[in-house]
């Protein structure tokens, strides 16, 4: 007799993650007959339940036991008629519906594959490209859709008989595992010296381990590009790397053998452990337990370190042969994109690396390692790339049938497509000032349009800055509607989008740089935002000057001198004493930092305003204070001075400075000069700079609370959004969240997209969507 058949469709990331074999096994175990197949929308099951009560059990088991790397968005089921099945089968894929298929990001080596590479009787023993349907490369090897082997960079490797039989066996873990490979048929490793000579060795990974032990610097071709590895416990090796890479202070990421080794060195909470061991295998910021073992040179000023676990078989095997942590940093020159192909590596990394561990599988998409911290018991992404992008962010149930494009910021760029109910934010692209990064931006965008089958863009949103590459690019693109949006509004919109907020709110958009709507450089903007996304600029720092423009971003002492000039005018009142002698006498350390000639030049710039824009940037205020406290005067990377200031803050000081505000054009203006005056007074009194730094951080956090209270009292708004690079500062983030929550506010920030400029594209795209809804 024919039975009533149920059609069950599962939406989400359910392809390329071992979903069909999982369903097959589950159906067998419950004695369900029928079939399962991939569609263009997801996975569909036709199931014959001899007993209908099993339906609930079946669906709950799908949800509970789903493959680790899958993501279930929704399960729909309906009765579909009478049919008869003799068994349960996986059948060929079918086309269905209009939607696009979500694609899995790359997945860290699963435990079963790890066993394969560790057991010497397995045919994949020590094989660096082992993978299965539960793990392995995905987006980094996909050239086109559908996700089948010929459309990946594995197409040039023909599967051997053993691999092919696994690939075709629906009960095998490698059934339809597109990158399936073994030592007989798959990609191979090679070790080369810096002159491109192949080293004659049986086991390149064993050899590579030996080189690392000897303190050599090795470029390793990984999933999304090259990494540079060096023994993290070897001061000389790390300092050579810093010297050659011209990267004096910016922290390096670490890769550590396993979680128990990591626990000996770092404090690791349950959530941090879950994150670091997840199939996304990000770099997680961890607090050091004790100093001494890992070279102090790895993390610069920071008391925390970015740590990741081995995430490919290559890394796992390498760590079989070494017992020390490795510095594992993205191989790139300055702010250029990560180096991804062998030739490029030899060209660009020759002066940095002694050896090259390469392989012959091409990388289709460049991906950096993702970086995050755990805050409020959640992952807070700081750089969103491998393992995360282009995993979609589901915004709301029903969004739009239009396609909106957010072109992104100039630095830490990502772009974003908003379509149907998803926001697809690209992987971290980088700083678009750079020619290679701009090319990477364009290539990646073309690729997303292909892979996600995006026909036309209905609306483009870009920054108001006319000279940004992303702005120029957006202006040349095809689209009926183009909208410009200022940087700091986009920050707040990214919080609104991510949290699906539909309420009035107070938005703190605090960072280093962004062009404001008045043509000045903003960075401490507080907005009142209504439900319809109407923005009012309600508060900001008083304006101060950036002598020499962008050069003062790299030289925080120029910002300090700019603010000291105001004190000089106030205190000296006349030119009885020259500015430079005022500086040198009040702060003798400046004699080592800046020449008299440069001080006079800065003075001239401040007096004439030549190439000296006004700013309300919170980032520049942090820079100034860092220099005033004799911490960082010249920044080798963006944010260095602020990081140094944060790390210098004494942990148990609860004091703060009183803030003076004034009202100007119905905006609250925070008096920067008054605050700097108070800091200088403390310095003159001989107060320890660690205490001053703590007081400064407390002041900034309390300011957020104080302003929020004013706006709540006046406008009855109790939702607060925090966005911008300032909120990467843990002290500010933790204190302002705590104060606001204690004070009864609902506090929101960015967790799934970076709180820094990496989240701007989402805010832009969301604004475009709302615009389309209105008109
Ligand atoms: Zn696996
Ligand atoms: Zn094979």
pLDDT tens for 489-510 read 999 999 999 999 999 999 999 9
Ranges 40-44, 134-138, 402-406, 551-555: which has the least confidence: 40-44
C-alpha 411 – ligand 1 centre gap (Å): 36
Provide the percentage of residues in the chain whose pLDDT is more than 70: 97
Ligand nearest to the CA of 114: 1
CA distance 623 to 635: 9
- Interval 513-532 mean pLDDT: 96
Q: If you measure from the C-alpha of residue 14 to the centroid of ligand 1, how many angstroms do you get, rounded to a whole number?
A: 16
SS3 60: helix
pLDDT band for position 69 (50/70/90)?
A: confident
Question: How much distance in Å is there from the Cα of 451 to the middle of ligand 2?
Answer: 28
- Residue 520 has a CB neighbour count (10 Å cut-off) of 16
Instruction: Answer yes or no: are the C-beta atoms of 649 and 731 closer than 8 Å.
Output: yes
Ligand 2 centre to CA of 518 (Å) is 63
Q: How many CA atoms lie within 13 A of 720 on its CB side?
A: 26
Q: What is the DSSP string of 479-513?
A: -SEEEEE-HHHHHHHHHHHHTT--S-EEEEEE-S-
Q: How far is the CA of 155 from the centre of ligand 2 (A)?
A: 13
Query: 265 CA distance to ligand 1 centroid (A)?
Result: 28
- Work out the percent of the chain whose per-residue pLDDT is above 90: 78
Find, among 578, 539, 586, 540, the residue nearest to 560 by Cα.
586
Query: Which pLDDT value is given to residue 176?
Result: 84
Q: Which are the contacts of 719, defined by CB distance < 8 A and separation ≥ 6?
A: 501, 503, 504, 505, 506, 745, 746, 748
| Å from CA of 689 to ligand 2 middle | 62
Q: pLDDT band at residue 100, thresholds of 50, 70 and 90?
A: low
Neighbours of ion ligand 2 (CB under 5 A): 160, 163, 182, 184-185
HEC secondary structure over 363-397 = CCCCCCCCEEEEECCEEEEEECCCCCCCCCEECCC
**Confidence category of residue 399, pLDDT binned at 50, 70, 90:** low
Name 661's bridge partners: 670
Give, to the nearest 10 degrees, the angle between helix 672-685 and helix 618-628: 20
Identify which ligand lies nearest to the alpha carbon of 174.
1
Residue 146 CB neighbours (<10 A): 16
Question: What interhelical angle do 618-628 and 640-648 show, nearest 10?
Answer: 60
Q: Are residues 733 and 373 in contact, defined by beta-carbon separation less than 8 angstroms?
A: no
CA–centroid distance, residue 15 to ligand 1 (Å): 14
How far is 355 from 217, CA to CA, in rounded Å?
7
Work out the angle at residue 724's Cα, subtended by the Cα atoms of residues 723 and 725, and round it to the nearest 5 degrees. Answer: 135
Instruction: Give me the mean pLDDT over the 375-401 stretch.
Output: 87
| C-alpha R_g of the chain | 28
- Cα–Cα nearest to 166, from 219, 118, 116: 116
Cα 720 to Cα 202, 511, 512, 713: the distances in Å are 60, 16, 20, 14
Q: How many angstroms separate the alpha carbon of residue 116 from the centre of ligand 1? A: 9
Q: Which ligand is in closest contact with the Cα of 137?
A: 1
pLDDT recorded at residue 98: 57
Residue 436: its pLDDT value, please? 92
Q: Please name which of 322, 410, 416, 339 lies closest in space to residue 764, comparing C-alpha atoms.
A: 416
CA–centroid distance, 88 to ligand 1, in Å, is: 24
261 Cα to the center of ligand 1, angstroms: 23
> 105 C-alpha vs ligand 1 centroid, how far in Å?
14
Structure tokens at 161: 């008989």
What is the distance in A from the centroid of ligand 2 to the CA of 186?
A: 6
Going by C-alpha positions, the residue among 287, 323, 328, 298 that lies closest to residue 311 is 328
Contacts of 672-675 with CB under 8 Å at 24 or more apart are: 672/541, 672/542, 672/544, 672/563, 672/621, 673/542, 673/544, 673/563, 673/566, 673/567, 673/570, 675/699
Integer Cα distance of 729 and 726 in angstroms: 6
Distance 183 CA to ligand 2 centre (A): 6
Question: How many A from CA of 18 to the centre of ligand 1?
Answer: 9
Output the CA 113–ligand 1 centroid distance in Å: 4
Q: Which ligand is nearest to the CA of 177?
A: 1
CA of 274 to the centre of ligand 2 (A): 33
> What is the CA(157)–ligand 2 centre distance, in A?
9
Cβ partners under 8 Å of residue 26, min gap 6: 32, 58, 61, 62, 65
Cα 442 to averaged position of ligand 2 atoms, centre (Å): 36
In this prediction, residue 773 has a pLDDT band, given cuts at 50, 70 and 90, of confident
Q: How far, in Å, is the centroid of ligand 1 from the Cα of 20?
A: 15
Mean pLDDT value across residues 57-78: 90
Rounded CA separation 156/150 (Å): 8
Out of 320-324, 355-359, 573-577, 639-643, pick the least confident: 573-577
pTM of the model: 0.92
* Locus of tokens 């509004």: 489
> 133, 17 in Cβ contact below 8 A?
yes
Q: What angle do CA 179, 424, 408 make, to 5 degrees?
A: 120
3-state secondary structure 680-727: HHHHHHCCCHHHHHHHHHHHHHHHHHHHHHHHHHHHCCCEEEEECHHH
Judge whether 13 and 69 are in contact, CB under 8 Å.
yes
pLDDT at 593: 97
Between the CA of 135 and the centroid of ligand 1 the distance, in Å, is 4
- Per residue in 103-114, pLDDT tens? 778 999 999 999
Mapped onto helix, strand or coil, the DSSP state of residue 657 is coil
- In the reported structure, the alpha carbon of residue 314 is separated from the centroid of ligand 1 by a whole-number distance in angstroms of 13
- What is the Å distance from ligand 2's center to 101 Cα? 28
Q: How remote is the CA of residue 381 from the centroid of ligand 2, in Å?
A: 37
Query: Nearest ligand to the C-alpha of residue 157?
Result: 2
Question: How far, in Å, from the CA of 177 to the mean position of ligand 2?
Answer: 12
- Compute the distance between CA of residue 508 and CA of residue 524 in angstroms, rounded to an integer: 7
Alpha carbon distance 309, 324 (integer Å): 13
**CA 128 / ligand 1 centre spacing (Å):** 12
Distance CA 375, CA 733 (A): 9
Give 146's contacts (C-beta < 8 A, 6+ positions apart): 40, 93, 101
Please tell me the predicted confidence (pLDDT) of residue 161: 97
**128 CA distance to ligand 2 middle (Å):** 13
Q: How far is CA 5 from CA 48, 52, 75, 299, 448, in A?
A: 5, 10, 16, 60, 37
Residue 652 Cα to chain centre, angstroms = 31
The ligand with the least distance to the CA atom of 130 is 1
Residue with tokens 């750089």: 383
pLDDT band at 667 (very low <50, low <70, confident <90, very high): very high
User: Residue 68 C-alpha to ligand 2 middle, in angstroms?
Assistant: 25
Instruction: Evaluate if residue 521 carries a pLDDT over 80.
Output: yes
State the distance from the centre of ligand 2 to the C-alpha of 676, rounded, in angstroms. Answer: 67
**Which residues are bridge partners to 627 per DSSP?**
none
Distance (Å) from CA 51 to ligand 2 centroid: 42
- Cα-Cα-Cα-Cα torsion 138, 144, 146, 147, nearest 10 degrees, comes to -20
**Which tokens in the block code for residue 328?**
């594992």
Residues 277, 260: Cα–Cα separation, whole Å: 11
Query: How close is the Cα of 317 to the center of ligand 1, in Å?
Result: 15
Residues 453-476 as b or e (16 or more Cβ within 10 Å = b): ebeebbbbbbbbbeebbbbebbee
Å from CA of 132 to ligand 1 middle: 4
Ligand nearest to the backbone CA of 67: 1
Unique residue bearing structure tokens 């993205």: 330
Query: In which residue are the tokens 């004699």 written?
Result: 591
| C-alpha of residue 184 to centroid of ligand 2, in Å | 5
Closest by Cα among 52, 57, 55, 43 to 15: 43
Distance 133 CA to ligand 1 centre (A): 6
Cα dihedral value 290, 292, 296, 302, nearest 10? 10
Question: What mean pLDDT is predicted for residues 592-617?
Answer: 95
Residues lining ligand 1 (ion), CB within 5 A?
110, 113, 132, 134-135
């Amino acid at each position: 007799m024919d039975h009533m058949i149920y059609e069950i469709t599962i939406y989400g990331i359910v392809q390329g993650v071992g979903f069909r074999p999982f369903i097959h096994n589950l159906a067998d175990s419950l004695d369900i007959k029928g079939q399962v197949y991939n569609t263009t929308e997801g996975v569909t099951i036709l199931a014959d339940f001899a007993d209908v009560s099993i339906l609930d059990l079946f669906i709950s088991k799908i949800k509970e036991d789903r493959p680790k790397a899958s993501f279930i968005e929704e399960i729909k089921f309906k009765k579909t008629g009478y049919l008869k099945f003799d068994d349960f089968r996986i059948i060929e894929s079918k086309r269905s519906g209009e939607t696009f298929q979500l694609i899995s990001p790359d997945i860290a080596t699963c435990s079963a594959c790890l066993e394969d590479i560790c057991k010497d009787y397995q045919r994949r023993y020590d094989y660096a490209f082992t993978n299965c349907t539960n793990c392995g490369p995905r987006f980094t090897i996909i050239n086109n859709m559908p996700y089948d082997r010929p459309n990946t960079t594995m197409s040039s490797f023909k599967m051997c008989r053993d691999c092919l039989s696994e690939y075709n066996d629906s009960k095998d873990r490698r059934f339809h595992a597109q990158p399936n490979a073994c030592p007989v048929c798959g990609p191979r490793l090679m070790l080369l010296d810096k002159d491109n000579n192949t080293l004659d060795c049986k086991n390149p990974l064993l050899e590579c381990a030996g080189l690392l032990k000897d303190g050599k610097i090795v470029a390793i071709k990984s999933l999304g590009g090259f990494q540079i590895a060096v023994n993290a416990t070897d001061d000389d090796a790390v300092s050579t790397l810093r010297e050659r890479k011209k990267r004096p202070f910016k922290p390096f990421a670490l890769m550590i053998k396993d979680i128990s080794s990591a626990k000996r060195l770092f404090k690791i909470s349950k959530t941090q452990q879950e994150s670091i061991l997840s199939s996304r295998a990000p770099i997680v910021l961890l607090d050091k337990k004790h100093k001494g073992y890992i070279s102090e040179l790895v993390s610069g000023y920071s008391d925390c370190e970015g740590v990741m676990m081995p995430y490919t078989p290559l890394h796992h095997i390498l760590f079989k042969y070494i017992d020390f942590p490795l510095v594992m940093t993205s191989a790139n020159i300055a702010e250029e994109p990560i180096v991804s192909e062998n030739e490029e590596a030899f060209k660009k990394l020759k002066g940095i690396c002694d050896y090259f561990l390469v392989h012959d599988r091409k990388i289709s998409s460049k991906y950096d390692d993702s970086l995050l911290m755990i805050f409020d018991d959640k992952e807070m992404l700081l750089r969103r790339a491998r393992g995360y992008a282009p995993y979609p962010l589901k915004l709301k149930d029903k969004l739009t049938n239009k396609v909106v494009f957010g072109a992104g910021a100039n630095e830490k760029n990502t772009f974003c497509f908003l379509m149907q109910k998803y926001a697809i934010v690209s992987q971290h692209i980088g700083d678009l000032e750079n020619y290679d990064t701009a090319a990477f931006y364009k290539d990646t965008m073309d690729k997303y349009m292909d892979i996600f089958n995006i026909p036309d863009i209905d609306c483009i949103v870009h920054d108001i800055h006319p000279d940004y590459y992303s702005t120029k690019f957006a202006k040349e693109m095809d689209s009926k509607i183009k909208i410009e949006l200022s940087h700091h509004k986009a920050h707040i919109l990214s919080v609104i989008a991510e949290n699906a907020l539909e309420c009035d709110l107070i938005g703190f958009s605090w960072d280093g740089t962004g062009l404001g709507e008045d043509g000045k450089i903003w960075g401490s903007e507080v907005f009142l935002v209504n439900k319809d996304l109407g923005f009012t600029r309600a508060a900001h720092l008083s304006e101060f000057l950036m002598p020499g423009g962008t050069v003062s971003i790299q030289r925080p002492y120029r910002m300090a001198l700019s603010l000291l000039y105001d004190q000089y005018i106030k205190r000296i009142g006349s030119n009885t004493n020259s500015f430079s002698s005022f500086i040198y006498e009040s702060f003798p350390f400046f004699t080592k930092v800046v020449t008299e000639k440069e001080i006079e030049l800065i003075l001239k710039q401040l007096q004439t305003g030549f190439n000296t824009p006004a700013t309300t940037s919170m980032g520049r205020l942090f820079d100034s204070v860092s220099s005033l406290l004799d911490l960082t005067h010249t920044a080798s990377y963006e944010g260095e001075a602020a990081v140094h200031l944060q790390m210098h803050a004494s942990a148990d000081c609860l004091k703060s400075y009183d803030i003076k505000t004034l009202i100007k054009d119905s905006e609250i203006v925070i008096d920067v000069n008054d605050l700097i005056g108070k800091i200088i007074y403390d310095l003159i009194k001989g107060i320890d700079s660690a205490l001053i730094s703590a007081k400064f951080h407390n002041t900034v956090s309390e300011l957020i609370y104080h302003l929020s209270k004013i706006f709540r009292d006046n406008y009855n708004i109790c939702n607060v959004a925090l966005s911008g690079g300032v909120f990467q500062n843990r002290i500010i983030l933790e204190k302002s969240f705590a104060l606001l929550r204690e004070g009864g506010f609902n506090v929101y920030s960015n967790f799934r997209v970076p709180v820094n400029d990496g989240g701007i594209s989402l805010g832009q795209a969301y604004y475009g969507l709302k615009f389309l809804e209105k008109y």
